[in-house]
Amino acid sequence: MNRIYFMVYNLNYGYNYFSYALGSGLLVMIVIVPILTMKSFAEERHNKSDQLLLTSPVSVTKIVLGKYLAMISILGIACVIFMIFPVIIRMLGTAHFLIDYLTILMFFLIGSVYIAIGMFLSSTTESQIIAAVGTMAVLLLLYFWSTLTNYLPSGTFANLMMVLILFALVALALQSYLQNWKFTSLIYAVFALGTIIVYFVTKTSFESLLTNILSSFDLTAVLTDLVDSNLLNIPNVFLLLSLIVAFNYLTIQVIQKRRWS
């Protein structure tokens, strides 16, 4: 599909940045990644063949990382092919190798995050359809993240309520893992009370608070900045790397819990 974008943007319209074509290719990954990751753990769980893995002498970490590296290798092969396109542009005119190759690298990192998310969701269910649809829904949410955050209310009280609801959701997620209502209730009460105190002390700091915070988690911003402004957003690069580690860790914890359950 990126070859089509390359033909349209670079060969037909004459743009000498391959990054334009690659930026449009993110939408394609929203379809491809769920298909790639939906079988990673869900199929084995459905067929009960995961018991062979869970009882093998290989550690859960190696199992998860082995599957993850296999999937990102497929993405890596595609990115290696993409590296040819700036050379083709150079043969036809002026090329911008630094920007284009940085864009390919960021495309690979974003795809690696998408794969980590898809693998995690696949580990939580035995249905491939649920894993695929769930992954596609999350990736669509991330794709339109910057647009959706702009629709959040800017009022101080509305932001206070949304922060409290967000804390409640985190507490519920923590409860589902720890199975300890007293501990999670105490954690939520401490954070909620602290938030309310800060609200009454510095109410103006809650103006558009969630919009400002959530906008910093726009995963596609690092690619957009390269395409539109030729700037590399270093904090976003660290965000992508952190999410790769985080979702691999969560997948390991899910499988580890099933191993001893």
Would you list the DSSP string of 57-81? Answer: SS-HHHHHHHHHHHHHHHHHHHHHH
Q: Is residue 145 located within the same domain as residue 158?
A: no
Q: Is residue 133 located within the same domain as residue 246?
A: yes
Q: Is residue 181 located within the same domain as residue 52?
A: no
Q: Is residue 169 located within the same domain as residue 237?
A: no
Domain count, the chain: 2
pTM (2 d.p.): 0.85
CA geometry: angle at 100 spanning 94 and 102, to 5°?
Answer: 145
CA distances (Å), origin 4, targets 9, 23, 142, 163, 226? 9, 13, 24, 43, 21
Q: How many CB atoms lie within 10 A of CB 109?
A: 22
Residues 6+ apart with CB under 8 A from 248: 64, 65, 68, 116, 119, 120
- Report DSSP state, residue 206: G
CB distance 71 to 40 below 8 Å: yes
Q: Is residue 162 located within the same domain as residue 33?
A: no
Q: Is residue 115 located within the same domain as residue 173?
A: no
Q: So what's the pLDDT on residue 153? A: 84
By CB atoms closer than 10 A (0-12, 13-18, 19+), residue 235 is exposed
Q: What is the pLDDT along the chain (261 residues), one digit of tens a residue?
A: 555 656 555 566 556 677 777 777 788 888 899 998 988 887 777 777 666 666 777 788 888 899 999 999 999 998 898 888 888 878 777 777 888 889 899 999 999 999 999 999 998 888 889 999 999 999 999 888 888 888 888 888 888 888 888 888 888 877 776 677 888 888 888 888 998 998 888 888 888 888 888 888 888 888 888 877 878 888 889 999 999 999 999 999 888 877 666
Q: Is residue 198 located within the same domain as residue 132?
A: no
Q: So what's the pLDDT on residue 49? A: 67
Domain that holds residue 172: 153-207
